[in-house]
Amino acid sequence: MDIQNPRVKKLRDGLPTTTNLIASVNKKLDIFKRISFVEDTHTYLIDGQISNSPSVTQLIKRFKRPFEKDKVAARVASRTGATVEQIKRAWDINNLYARTLGSMLHTYAEGTYTNQVLAFNGSTEELGHGEKEKIRENFPILVKHFNSFYRNNQHLKCVGNEVALGDMDGTRVCGMCDMIAYNTKTKQLEILDFKTNRQFNKENQFANFLYPFDNLPECEEAEYTVQLNTYKYFIEKHTDLKIRALKIIWLQHANPTWVVYDLKDIQPQIAQMFDCFKAASLFQEQPA
């Protein structure tokens, strides 16, 4: 017979369950339902009105040195014997392949965490035969890596998937957060982002970001540090929730398994970024 101490049972029953905690967090995140994303035009709406501000990804690009595509393509063309247009076309196809593969993985991950079978709503029509074959070969490997991560991290409970976040009453900059999770081990909230890049560099001896990130090298780790810190900034500005960890889950078919990168908290620099954006906006012509 199971005999329980009534006082201990009363204390235990009074503690919030993980399910209740997640429901409470979701209720606070409901404020971001003011934001919607239009897939066809890749635009964000706030209260039904176009934000007229860059997305998080577009904003971060403003703090990187511009990529001189034509000049670089000309150098590559002279070295390889291809034409400039052929080089640029090859780059565009490679980028499309990478985006397609990443979107497919994100769809699979979202379906796993929400216990649904979600159809990929993108298109592979513009991809060449070689790129389609690479997807058929590499996507199952990414799925294998993701499934391994999922099985080995059951303590990360999904709070929200593909959550549109933004600075709704300020700069109106918006972005899409892959996943907000509750860590049952640490009892804290985390932001997770799944990346399928070919490489994940942590250094760049040739270039840094522009102010206020001029202490950061232009590389994947730094760029994603700014990205996830921006999502953290949105959440902590509009709610009383605290995000305690920012993590990149790198899934790459050439790697033997998944890799987790813990990113630094750089909230003071994120605030400076928005100050710079607001200052620059003062000198731009406002839409009618």
Mean pLDDT computed over 104-111: 94
Distance (Å, whole) CA 238 – CA 167: 8
Full-model pTM: 0.90
Q: Residue 265: its pLDDT value, please?
A: 98
Q: Residue 262: its pLDDT value, please?
A: 98
Residue 10 has pLDDT above 90, yes or no: no
Going by DSSP bridges, is the β-strand pair 43-46/156-166 parallel, antiparallel, or unpaired?
unpaired
Distance (Å, whole) CA 37 – CA 175: 9
Mean pLDDT computed over 10-39: 85
Q: Residue 284: its pLDDT value, please?
A: 61
Mean pLDDT computed over 154-173: 96
> For residues 26 and 161, is the Cβ–Cβ distance under 8 A?
no
Residue 246 has pLDDT above 70, yes or no: yes
> For residues 190 and 181, is the Cβ–Cβ distance under 8 A?
yes
Residue 11 has pLDDT above 50, yes or no: no
Contacts of 239 (CB under 8 A, 6+ apart): 28, 29, 31
Q: Residue 269: its pLDDT value, please?
A: 98
Residue 285 has pLDDT above 60, yes or no: no
Residue ranges of domains in the chain, CATH in brackets: 32-66+139-281 (3.90.320)
* Average pLDDT across the chain, whole number: 91
Q: Residue 12: its pLDDT value, please?
A: 46
Using pLDDT thresholds of 50, 70 and 90, give the confidence band for residue 128.
Answer: confident
Encode burial over 245-279: b for 16+ CB neighbours within 10 A, e otherwise: bbbbbbbbbeeeebeebebeebeebbeebbebbee
Q: Residue 251: its pLDDT value, please?
A: 98
Strand spans (E) along the chain? 35-38, 43-46, 49-50, 156-166, 174-183, 188-195, 243-250, 259-262
Distance (Å, whole) CA 117 – CA 112: 8
Distance (Å, whole) CA 191 – CA 248: 9
Mean pLDDT computed over 49-62: 96
Q: Residue 116: its pLDDT value, please?
A: 85
Q: Residue 136: its pLDDT value, please?
A: 95
Give the dihedral sign, CA 256/57/161/132: negative
Residue 282 has pLDDT above 70, yes or no: no
What percent of the chain has pLDDT above 70? 92
Task: Give me the amino acid identity at 17.
Answer: T
Q: Residue 228: its pLDDT value, please?
A: 98
What percent of the chain has pLDDT above 90? 81
